Amino acid sequence: MRLDQFIAQSTGISRKEAKKFIRQGRIMLANRVTTNPAERTQGQAVHLDGDPLALPGHRYYMLHKPAGYVSATEDKEHPTAVSLLPSELRQGLHIAGRLDKDTTGLLLLTTDGQWSRRVTAPRYAVPKTYLVHLAEAITSTAIQQLETGLLLRGETQPTAPAQVELVNQHCIRLTIIEGRYHQVKRMLAAVGNRVEALHREKIGQILLPKGLLAGKYCELSPSDVSFF
Ligand code: URA
């Protein structure tokens, strides 16, 4: 990136002003003063009047998605999950791992495309944990099938083994490492049951905090970001 562009982006001033600062000798690139706005930065330190400059970084949030919101940035018919963040934060955000409109719980949003690919790409096999409320009492045969892997309707590849924790006869905690279309609902349909309510509690090590109420968001901690 050109030096004048780097300074404009990291400080918010115009390219014209950035060029002026450079010509005035106020900028150091790699610890030496430069007066050439066309010099290129490639990760070296840049200082303005002795203060270090950095490009604005990516942003990472978690949202407690309520039911009735679609996992999209824009939608003509339904309110979007992204609309639950203040407008000044929405710029450049996308969702890392969608939820159905009626599903509640943990949704990750970021400006960082590489990071969201690490969250969602099948080869990373990130575990996602759901609390699943069921129409029918779960049987031990069904639990075994979920744990072993099963064929979803219209597919030829069985699901990867899932982890099942029995909460009660009508509620299980299910952890899966894939993200196929409507996967949890289809897995439960495949064992002759029906999902009445679905809530995502966890993605990787990121747990939806109990205190984050439906519709609220917060920034991810640096350790949560660096997990992926
Ligand atoms: N599986 C589903 O069926 N729906 C979701 O929203 C997430 C996982």
Q: What range defines the domain where residue 14 resides?
A: 3-52
Pair 86, 118 in one domain: yes
Whether residue 146 is found in the same domain as residue 187:
yes
Examine the domain organization and report whether 108 and 216 are in the same domain: yes
Q: Helix/strand/coil (H, E, C) string of the chain? A: CEHHHHHHHHHCCCHHHHHHHHHCCCEEECCEECCCCCCECCCCCEEECCEECCCCCCCEEEEEECCCCECCCCCCCCCEHHHHCCHHHHCCCEECCCCCCCCEEEEEEECCHHHHHHHHCHHHCCCEEEEEEECCCCCHHHHHHHHHCCCCCCCCCCCCCCEEEEEECCEEEEEECCCCCCHHHHHHHHCCCCEEEEEEEEECCEECCCCCCCCCEEECCHHHHHHC
Q: Number of structural domains, the chain?
A: 3
The pair of structure tokens assigned to 27 is: 């900028």
CATH number at residue 42: 3.10.290.10
Based on the domain organization, do 36 and 82 belong to the same domain? no
Residue 34: what pLDDT? 95
Residue 189 CA, ligand 1 centroid: distance in Å: 12
Per the listing, tokens 């970084």 go with 57
Q: Do 157 and 182 reside in the same domain of the chain?
A: yes
Ligand 1 atom closest to residue 179's alpha carbon, by position in its atom list: 8
- Using DSSP bridges, classify how beta strands 51-52 and 46-48 pair: parallel, antiparallel or unpaired: antiparallel
Q: What is the pLDDT of residue 46?
A: 84
Measured in Å, residue 185 CA sits from the centre of ligand 1 at 6
Q: What pLDDT is recorded for position 43?
A: 63
Whether residue 29 sits in one domain with residue 137: no
The answer to whether residues 199 and 211 belong to one domain is no
Is there a single domain that holds both residue 32 and residue 48?
yes
107: CATH? 3.30.70.580
Task: Spot the catalytic one: 75, 100, 102, 112.
Answer: 100
Active site residue 4: no
Q: What is the mean pLDDT of each run of 10 residues along the chain (228 residues)?
A: 86 93 94 94 81 81 98 92 91 93 98 92 96 98 98 96 98 97 98 98 97 97 84
Atom 2 of ligand 1, nearest CA residue: 182
C-beta of 185 in contact with ligand 1 (< 6 A): yes
> Looking at residue 44, what is its pLDDT?
74
**Binding site membership of 39 for ligand 1 (Cβ less than 6 Å):** no
* CA of 188 relative to ligand 1 center, distance in Å: 11
Instruction: Answer whether 159 contacts ligand 1 (Cβ < 6 A).
Output: no
Same-domain check for residues 157 and 193? yes
**Are 47 and 69 found together in one domain?**
no
CA of 40 to the centre of ligand 1 (A): 46
Hey, whose CA ends up nearest to atom 3 of ligand 1? Answer: 182
Q: Is 106 in the pocket of ligand 1 (CB under 6 A)?
A: no
Examine the domain organization and report whether 154 and 168 are in the same domain.
yes
Q: Is the CB of 183 under 6 A from ligand 1?
A: yes
Q: How far apart are CA 188 and CA 23, in angstroms?
A: 67
Asked if residue 215 and residue 114 are part of one domain, the reply reads yes
